[in-house]
Amino acid sequence: MKARHLSARCLVALAVLGAPALSISAQSAQPWSVQGSVLFANQNLNGKLISGVGFEGQFRYTPSVWSVGAGIQYSTHASGGQTLDLTGFFVEPRYALDVGSDRFAPYLAGRAALLHASIDLGSAGNVSTSGVAFGAGAGLIIKASTAVNFDFGAAILSQSLSNTSTVQFTTFTGYIVKGGISVGFGGK
């Protein structure tokens, strides 16, 4: 019984992924776009939620319902006289869901990032380290014009930083909520 349900789910997934890449008009009408977003990020470090704010900028290629973006993200987090600044270079593939609207489209996204962390430990000094992040999320694209979209999204990321002689890190979870504007260019 379970094998049939699993087989049916696999067939549905293959049908969705193998379907022709239809254009969704709520996505950028141009194949290339540049996007800027404000983000609110929470890092769950050792059971303590540390909130922060930041930004991201990215270039995105959108040939169909699939698109891929690459860019930079930055957020700063303060707690108890200590500050964590995270900078990441990321790749973000997306799949826009066709809901039959030419004004908006929800999407699913993945994200992989190379991280750099600068940590101000107050009187204990400063530490720098690097790491990686992997995660997934979802969002909503709202068409403002043929070249401009509003983009709202959220993601959960698993992040790992390299240990230093001063600070020992365990893998931690980050939560990001973002909102921004995407401007398309180039002709399809």
Beta bridge partners of 126: 120
Chain center to CA of 61: 15
What integer pLDDT is reported at residue 16 of this predicted model? 42
3-state helix, strand and coil shares in percent for the chain, rounded to the nearest 5: 10, 65, 25
pLDDT at 26 over 90: no
H helix intervals, the chain: 2-18
Chain center to CA of 72: 10
Q: Pick the closest to residue 44 from 165, 178, 171 (CA basis).
A: 171
What integer pLDDT is reported at residue 188 of this predicted model? 59
d(CA 152, CA 31): 20
pLDDT at 105 over 80: yes
Domains of the chain: 21-185 (2.40.160.20)
Query: DSSP per residue over 99-134, as a string?
Result: -S-SSEEEEEEEEEEEEEEEEE-GGG-EEEEEEEEE
Q: 65-90 pLDDT, tens per residue?
A: 999 999 999 999 998 888 999 999 99
DSSP state of 67: E
Mapping DSSP to helix (H, G, I), strand (E, B) and coil, where does residue 16 land?
A: helix
What integer pLDDT is reported at residue 21 of this predicted model? 40
